[in-house]
Amino acid sequence: MIIKNSCSFIFSHRFFLFVLILFLHQIIIGQDHHYWMNMGGTRSALMGGAVVGGVRDNSAGLYNPAALAFVDKVSHSISSNAYKWNNIIINDGLGKNIKFKSDQIRIIPSLVSGVFKIDFIPWMDFSYSIAAKDFSLIKVNALHHDKIDIIDKIENGKYLGNNKFADIFDGPEDFSGQFEFNESLTEYWAGLSWAKKINNNWSYGITVFIVYRDQDQTDDLNIYAVDANKYQSASNQIMKSVSYYNFRLIPKFGFSYNEENIKAGLTVTIPSINLYGDATVAFIRTSRNLFQINDPESGENIYLDLIAMDRQPGLSAVYKSPLSIAAGFETSVTKSVNIGLTVEYFLGLNQYTITQPENKIFFKDLDLPQFENEFSSKNILRIVDEKKQVLNFAIGLEYQLSEIIKSYLSFRTDFRYNKNINNTINTLGICDWNIYHGSIGALYKLENQEVSLGIIGSYGSNDIYKQLVNLKQPYPQTGELFIGSSTVSTKAYYWSIGLSLGFTYYL
């Protein structure tokens, strides 16, 4: 038999059913600009990920592959954040007293992992891991009605017959604005790991991850203004949709030190290597009765309506993750108390292009060359990304309550990595705040299995968050194609609470 015990437990009906239930419920709420959103592992999740030095179970493949060399038992486990309630609120996010709010309750798969040995190379240890690292699901729809003067009066703009004319857009207009935003993001890391002891105290190891990322985002703004006398109406629509997936390769190297009262570790995660990606981008921009030009034949002002649209499937898509270095230790404070600390530094990434469309577009009724570059597909639909440097830390406390029960308390930071880019450039995601996670829980240990249960709470805020749109303060510009919106800074905050479940089976 090549692989010891042949991982037969994976296919036992109870374990397989548990795995299936969790990973079928894979849609979750999370954040789109954070590295430490989800922590997996039966014990590691309760420690808040503060285990780069002290991990000694099958989650080592995710946190520090070198520690696998000090894992004595062949085991398989699954962990999840179950029934997590996430809430994103942006005060006045869509205008004065119009909140941007998105909340969901979902099951969140976190980590499936296992340790196994191969008979003919008994001096090496192996593991597999499938981690749900990054997820987001945000849905918002807002509608606002008002009576407001947003379009300049046009004198004698409506012919009434009998050589009579009436002003249009004179005074307040009946205004209606609707904004819809949808975003979903999933990212899975699947890795194989191996480790080898250098001596009784030192080891090294590597995990090679294949990472799959899938992201979709749609923004849709519709604005209508009707003249008070119903003589004329004006409207515009601005819709943009991006959908892409990407595969990349990420190697992770680790070193581990093991002694009776102290454990330590160091990992280096290499910048991602792009394998393959595919993207579809689309947009629609329409403008009716907003742009006026002078007709040289009649000498009168006339409206120029616009329809501009494009959709390009099958574009290449690239997504990058940076070099990161993590270090940690775990030590016994007393016979009953262990404390672990981990820090991880993520380098930044200069601006790069996720997807670049070709320069083609469909126009209707747009004969003015000054707008051709503004509405070119290569400008409207080009998606870029840029990451700033981030330093996160986590601290976890383990207390032995009895021979079979341990309790845990942890805290970790989760600082945002998105770098504010000029608003004229397209980026994905809207989460622009730092998050702080805290957890409390317990682990129940039997002869050949462990079960963990914890409560995780998270909070983040930003006092200078830039509104996505402002339906309360639309403004017209003479000679402009669109009714715009005067956005201001407001306050955004995020919070979540959920259960963390874990199960490990030792063969």
**DSSP designation for 420:** P
Q: How far is CA 92 from CA 97, 101, 175, 225, 468, in A?
A: 5, 10, 18, 22, 10
Number of domains into which the chain is organized: 1
Asked if the model's pLDDT at residue 354 lies above 60, the reply is: yes
CA 82 to CA 21: how far, in whole Å?
A: 11
**Which token pair is 369?**
């060359």
Q: Strand, coil or helix: what is 13?
A: helix
The terminus-to-terminus CA distance of the chain in angstroms comes to: 16
CA 249 to CA 125: how far, in whole Å?
A: 22
Q: What is the mean pLDDT of residues 461-468?
A: 82
Q: What is the mean pLDDT of residues 150-155?
A: 75
Q: What is the mean pLDDT of residues 197-202?
A: 94
User: Residue 327's closest CA among 47, 51, 13?
Assistant: 51
Res. 105 pLDDT band, cuts 50 70 90: low
Its domain, for residue 277, covers 4-506
Helices (H), 54-170: 60-63
CA 77 to CA 71: how far, in whole Å?
A: 14
The residue with greater pLDDT, 22 or 298, is 298
**Is 189 exposed, middle or buried, given 0-12, 13-18 or 19+ CB atoms closer than 10 A?**
buried
Query: What percent of the chain is predicted at pLDDT more than 90?
Result: 37
The residue with greater pLDDT, 240 or 285, is 240
CA 287 to CA 289: how far, in whole Å?
A: 7
User: Residue 252's closest CA among 185, 189, 197?
Assistant: 189
Neighbours of 120 (CB within 10 A): 5
Torsion from C-alpha of 288, 292, 297, 298, nearest 10 degrees: 90
Q: Can you give the CATH number for the domain in which 197 is found?
A: 2.40.160.60
Query: What percent of the chain is predicted at pLDDT more than 70?
Result: 76
CA 443 to CA 401: how far, in whole Å?
A: 10
Q: Strand, coil or helix: what is 5?
A: helix
